[in-house]
Amino acid sequence: MIKKGNLKLKKMFVAKKPLNNVKINNKSINKANEEKKKASKLSRLKMYRTKANLKKMTTKINEVRRIEPSIKWFNNTRTISQNKLEIFRNKFEETTHDPFSVVVKRSKIPVELLKDEKDCVKKKYKNESFLRIENYNDVFSKNKKRKKPKLNTSSLETFVKNAQDNLINYKSDKDDCLYEKKTEEVEKKSSKDILLKIGQSKRIWTELYKVIDSSDIILEVLDARDPIGTRCKKLEENLKKDRPHKHIILVINKIDLIPTTVAAKWINIFSKEYPTIAYHASINNPFGKNDLFNIIRQYTQFLKTENNNKNIHIGLVGYPNVGKSAIINSLKKKIVCISACMPGQTKYWQFIRLTSKIYLIDCPGIVPYDVQDSDKILRSTMRLEKITNPQFYIDDIFKIVNKEHMIMMYKLPIDTTFETSEEFLEMLAKRMGKLLKGGEPDIFSVSKIIINDWMKGKIPYYIKPDKYLDEHNRGEQIKIEALDSSKIRSSDNTVDDGIDHDKVKDGIEDDKVNDGIDDGIYDDKVDDGIEDDGIEDDGIDDEKADDGVNVVKADDEMEL
């Protein structure tokens, strides 16, 4: 017991002396620990400073392998003659341009050998194509040749006669170089609105690229009243160049607004390029639905082999207010996408499930950059309340619609005559009672009424395909004349390539190609057209016409 004052403490333990009288040096132990801590701290700080080498982390060391000693490596390689290659090239071009055939297994086809030099070789400078026709040495060197003027006439008499004919046939309405028309254009340009860029924003184009990238089949929807004006030609060219594996189908919507003969002619024109379908989007009484299902069924059977029975996506693309969302609603037989008679209703892309393995993608309407402002309004790409100067675009409506039809439409007297659109607007404002202070006619509000009727389809109009065929034939003639002139120029600079081209042409068979090459071409004929028997049931009261289009009715439901 230990006593400390009045307290008594028990002796809990007693420190024992060490057996061996050895003194422990604590200072040396502490120094060793400190050195270890410093080394670990330095290594940690070094780790913070240095970055990880991703190559060492990701790369895998390849195993050493041995090539099989086979006789194949020393045999002759497979070659092809020039005649067979040209036959194969012609056959391949026919199938790619044919809208009713599909090329299968593109990887096995020697596409690089089939392309022309113009497509394969990139242009080093801008005027390379011009220099192919006319060399640099022929113009600027010592052996330069004098350029002759390009004249359509061979003698002075014919030149004078053509000038007199042009003077007789001159029309001031078609002359764009007049001072009056230039002043009108300046006024229109000054009154240009930023809102006319609707459909061309970055947001809409990003949505379009999303739809194109994620879809296997692209349905381009056209307006039956103006199918050429609502067609995105540059988009089709881009898909042909960069994405040839995407399949395009043209759908001519709103055929209830045009006669059946006109619809049949449009189908015969467009079916030469892509499979086309006449369609009337309606939930209760749709028209062309079975034809669309037939084409989708044929494409799905083909795409199942490529995608290994994965899901198939179909994207709908086109101008605003064409009826993309209405087509989806008619296919689903219920309202899935919000659609309206005014443009700009769909703002983002939407996925809609059609069947267990087929999905539809709705896209907002796009407007190409090269479209004029008047065409944007006539094709109803923007809302009425956003147009600031509607009176400037009434002249463009009168170019399409006859004056008599407009007089009958707005119940003006039959004897009324007018020369300009302003006179018509003043007369219509007085009849409707749209007047400002002092009895002046309110042209602004009346022009808005006319454009509103135009957008909603109250003013009947359609563009005839005969005009398109005439312009198309004229363009082809101009191209042929340009090619002939270029051949005449390049005849002096021809180079003997040592190939007998007549023999090559004689060796080509037009109907059959027996070259022993598996070109991998799968011809699947797609039946598209108009069902003349079912037009009256679909709500179209126009007269029937023999359109010459073969029709295959699909009464059974879609089995995919």
Band the pLDDT of 267: cuts 50, 70, 90.
very high
- Within a 10 A sphere around the Cβ of 300, how many other Cβ atoms? 19
Give yes or no: residues 231 and 310 share one domain: yes
Q: Is residue 233 part of a domain?
A: yes
pLDDT computed for residue 116 by the predictor: 58
C-alpha distances (whole Å) from 79 to each of 22, 99, 114, 507 are 95, 31, 15, 18
Q: Which residue has the tokens 């002619």?
A: 265
**3 state DSSP class of 412:** coil
pLDDT computed for residue 189 by the predictor: 54
Give yes or no: residues 219 and 327 share one domain: yes
- Structural domain of 220: 197-362
End position of a domain, from candidates 456, 485, 517: 456
Highest mean pLDDT among 168-177, 507-516, 545-554: 168-177
Give yes or no: residues 428 and 299 share one domain: no
Give yes or no: residues 357 and 234 share one domain: yes
Give yes or no: residues 244 and 352 share one domain: yes
Share of the chain above pLDDT 90, in %: 9
Give yes or no: residues 330 and 450 share one domain: no
- Distance between CA atoms of residues 493 and 132, nearest Å: 9
Q: Is residue 270 part of a domain?
A: yes
Highest mean pLDDT among 29-43, 56-70, 397-411: 397-411
- Distance between CA atoms of residues 239 and 536, nearest Å: 37
Residue from 87, 59, 99, 35 nearest 525 by CA = 99
Lowest pLDDT segment from 33-47, 91-105, 443-457 = 91-105
pLDDT digits (tens, 9 = 90+) for 370-400: 777 777 878 877 778 778 888 888 888 888 8
379 or 131: whose pLDDT is higher? 379
pLDDT digits (tens, 9 = 90+) for 210-233: 999 989 899 999 999 989 889 998
pLDDT computed for residue 143 by the predictor: 74
170 or 558: whose pLDDT is higher? 170
Highest mean pLDDT among 67-71, 144-148, 478-482: 67-71
Q: Is residue 256 part of a domain?
A: yes
pLDDT computed for residue 173 by the predictor: 72
End position of a domain, from candidates 362, 395, 428: 362
Share of the chain above pLDDT 70, in %: 64
Is pLDDT of 166 > 80?
Answer: yes
Band the pLDDT of 360: cuts 50, 70, 90.
very high
- Distance between CA atoms of residues 466 and 478, nearest Å: 19
Average pLDDT, the chain: 72
Q: Is residue 539 part of a domain?
A: no
Band the pLDDT of 514: cuts 50, 70, 90.
very low
Average pLDDT over residues 341-349: 79
Band the pLDDT of 543: cuts 50, 70, 90.
very low
pLDDT computed for residue 174 by the predictor: 72
Give yes or no: residues 355 and 401 share one domain: no
Lowest pLDDT segment from 58-67, 131-140, 413-422 = 131-140
Is pLDDT of 502 > 90?
Answer: no
Long-range contacts of 486-492 (CB under 8 A, 24+ apart): 486/133, 489/133, 489/134, 490/132, 490/133, 492/138
pLDDT computed for residue 277 by the predictor: 92
Q: Is residue 357 part of a domain?
A: yes
Distance of CA 530 to the CA centre of its chain: 25
Domain count, the chain: 2
Give yes or no: residues 313 and 406 share one domain: no
Give yes or no: residues 285 and 358 share one domain: yes
Looking at the DSSP assignment, which residues form a beta bridge with residue 287? Answer: 280
- Distance between CA atoms of residues 70 and 263, nearest Å: 63
Residue from 227, 224, 277 nearest 249 by CA = 277
Give yes or no: residues 358 and 390 share one domain: no
Band the pLDDT of 131: cuts 50, 70, 90.
low
Band the pLDDT of 176: cuts 50, 70, 90.
low
Band the pLDDT of 365: cuts 50, 70, 90.
confident
Answer for the pair 530, 271: CB distance below 8 angstroms, yes or no. no
Give yes or no: residues 204 and 353 share one domain: yes
Looking at the DSSP assignment, which residues form a beta bridge with residue 219? Answer: 249, 316
What CATH number should be reported for the domain holding residue 240?
3.40.50.300
Give yes or no: residues 304 and 206 share one domain: yes
What CATH number should be reported for the domain holding residue 420?
1.10.1580
Q: Is residue 211 part of a domain?
A: yes
Band the pLDDT of 250: cuts 50, 70, 90.
very high
Q: Is residue 284 part of a domain?
A: yes
Q: Is residue 342 part of a domain?
A: yes
pLDDT computed for residue 130 by the predictor: 59
pLDDT computed for residue 328 by the predictor: 92
Highest mean pLDDT among 61-70, 441-450, 460-469: 441-450
pLDDT computed for residue 347 by the predictor: 82
Task: Record the pTM.
Answer: 0.56
End position of a domain, from candidates 408, 434, 456: 456
pLDDT digits (tens, 9 = 90+) for 274-307: 999 999 998 888 899 999 999 988 888 888 776 6
Looking at the DSSP assignment, which residues form a beta bridge with residue 359? Answer: 313, 353
Lowest pLDDT segment from 171-180, 185-194, 273-282, 416-425 = 185-194
Answer for the pair 348, 394: CB distance below 8 angstroms, yes or no. no
